[in-house]
Amino acid sequence: MRGKNLKVRLLIGAAIALFFVFKRCSQREENPYTGRMQTISMNANEEIAIGLQSAPQMAQQHGGLHENTQYQALVDNVGQKLVNNSIAQETPYKYEFHLLADPNTINAFALPGGQIFITYALFSQLKNEDQLAGVLGHEVGHVLGRHSAERIAESEYWQGLTTAGSVGADMGSVVSGIGQNTLLTNGRDDELESDELGVRFMLKAGYNPEEMIGVMEILKAAAGPNRVPEFQSTHPDPDNRIEKIREAIEKYKGL
């Protein structure tokens, strides 16, 4: 009887796993702006809706929007200049740029669909408009690259396989660990792709992409000597990013 129950569980687990594998295959599509094949489970309108719905909460977590209208206008102007002079303007996304009041957290991030944020803690450390363009261009790259949508779809896939492993033969924790490591690796690839896209956007808009290296130095200093090793982080090491940025500058500066 015990062997029969195990066989039934294995069959159910295999069926669940096959369902999520087929589902993932059906969700594969080429990003028309990057040419990369991705697993995507939502359309652009759904991405925009998620971003708009999440934006107020994200702003609240960082002390709300900054009250200085001149600073905000600068962020808007630089962001829109990047969009208007690049392939970003061809996308269906609604790009909006927000300066957050947070004076302590050095960060910038993008929500699906075009909501882009930079904290005052990071903004205040930037030395010029080109560095601001580097930060915002990188975040536009995340939106255009559909990285959040891809992570959501990939997470759903690995959660499904984890469920299948748990039902089938108590292998859920093993599958979950593999999935987590895969998502970390993919996250680092997202950052490098956004850096490269940021270089392209800066060049098209007339900014100096060398200033992105200065941004990396700011992030490196903020992380300090005890920063998380790259293999445990969703972000590549700043030194590795600097090397890739230099390669991207050489690749695109004559185009």
Task: Please report the pLDDT score of residue 141 as a whole number.
Answer: 95
Strand partners, 52: none
List average pLDDT for each run of 10 residues in the chain, which is 255 residues long. Answer: 55 52 62 86 87 92 96 98 95 96 93 94 97 97 90 63 49 40 56 94 96 93 61 65 94 81
Task: Please report the pLDDT score of residue 31 as a whole number.
Answer: 86
Task: Please report the pLDDT score of residue 232 as a whole number.
Answer: 44
CA 76 to chain centre: 20
Do the beta carbons of residue 134 and residue 86 sit within 8 Å? no
- Report which of 187, 208, 181 is spatially closest to residue 142, judged by C-alpha positions: 187
**H-helix or E-strand spanning residue 93:** none
Task: Please report the pLDDT score of residue 253 as a whole number.
Answer: 84
List Cβ neighbours of 201 (8 Å cut-off, separation of 6 or more).
Answer: 82, 85, 86, 88, 133, 137, 140, 141
Please give the Cα distance from 96 to 39 (Å, whole number). Answer: 25
Task: Please report the pLDDT score of residue 226 as a whole number.
Answer: 55
Please give the Cα distance from 29 to 44 (Å, whole number). Answer: 13
**Do the strands 96-100 and 115-119 form a parallel or antiparallel pair, or are they unpaired?**
parallel
Q: pTM, whole model, 2 decimals?
A: 0.78
Do the beta carbons of residue 160 and residue 20 sit within 8 Å? yes
